[in-house]
Amino acid sequence: MERRVTTINCRGKLLDLGIPRVMAIVNLSPESFYHSLDGAKDKELLNFVGKALEDGADIIDVGGMSTRPGSVEISVEMEWERIGKGLKAIRSEFLEAILSVDTYRGEIASRSLDLGVDLINDISGGAFDPNIIEVVAGQQVPYVLMHNLAKSEVMQNYTDYEDMLEEMFRYFVEKIHLLEEKGIKDIVIDPGFGFSKTIDQNYLLLKNLSVFEQLERPLLVGLSRKSMLYKRLGTTPEETLCMTAALNFKALESGANILRVHDAREARQCIQIFESYSRV
């Protein structure tokens, strides 16, 4: 499959998304469903980030509040307490790394950008705190726009669609128009696997992922170790690495430009095999 050449401008660092890229998840929330780190433990955090970069991560995505289904919202100050020190340490140690922050709060986005973060990954599409859009527009950094209908504590109550794919497509068209009106140029779309979707709806989405190529925006996919895998298999997140790779390969076939993952090395290997597969 031939990919549309596209780049995003991360504060002057141009990232070519014509080549599939790896976004490594750095969880600094103890409530996360898989693999949490303590942002106050610099050595452990920096070792993890260094290994992710060595293993092929192109973007480091740091988050301090779990957004898994059913998780409870924490305060702004607690979220910042978890990530602020860690972000500063990561930026100081890895000057050239592309850093992302996973937040839906304008205040957290603003403080993170002040520390040298390069892009904002927002699960809410600006719905939970509209100020985040103003912050991103003011700093002119890339913005990851996810499909999601409600906060994590109740989002699985919002899974009734007449036509999920059509409604998602309309959601993205409307949101992209709003972001462009605000002057945001680099918009990455994320279909939001696991967010306001049942397990079967997640598989329907994956099967039809290529529909969103019509939006002509880079596509980020986050399938890593999610409940659509371990609940369907009756297992745990720890036992889903091989199935994560299988679904990531399918996502790449359907046009994914960025794989958001817990395991950078295996995602990079998946991309390498996909690239060989695509060339023949």
| Residues with a known catalytic role | 226, 260
Q: Is 107 helix (H, G, I), strand (E, B) or coil?
A: helix
Q: Where are the beta strands (DSSP E) in 108-218?
A: 119-122, 143-146, 187-190
Q: Which of 42, 102, 27, 58 is CA-nearest to residue 267?
A: 58
199: helix, coil or strand?
A: helix
How far, in Å, are 35, 209, 241 from residue 238 at the CA level? 9, 26, 7
- CA-closest candidate to residue 222, choices 27, 86, 10: 27
Please give the structure tokens belonging to residue 98: 């592309």
